[in-house]
Amino acid sequence: MERLCSSPLHENISTALDKHLESIHVVQARRKDEIVNASSRQRHGPPRCQDERVVLALAVALRALCLATRKVRTTLWCAFQMTLPK
């Protein structure tokens, strides 16, 4: 979009994209923790409290990803509108 506009876009656009990517990485890490916890639970029996904490951490990360996705969609739409010819 910066090429279409022939000038750099606002810094909030790149910030929103960076936060969205960071949220994706956090969700991936929490999901990996959940998978590891589920596989170890099958071997050693059900430690219920630890499992709930892992699932809650994943839920919090998913909520943050949802909010970041909404923000980046709006930001990209605004950037697109700025690049359209007048």
The domain limits of the chain are 10-83
Q: What pLDDT does residue 82 have?
A: 83
Task: Flag whether the pTM goes above 0.75.
Answer: yes
Q: Please state, as a whole number, how many other Cβ atoms lie within 10 Å of the Cβ of residue 82.
A: 14
| Angstrom distance (rounded) from CA 54 to CA 33 | 7
Q: Provide the token pair at 3.
A: 């090429």
Burial class (CB in 10 A: 0-12, 13-18, 19+), 86: exposed
* Distance linking the first and last C-alpha atoms of the chain: 15
Does 47 score more than 60 pLDDT? no
Is pLDDT of 1 > 80? no
Residue 43 pLDDT > 70, yes or no? no
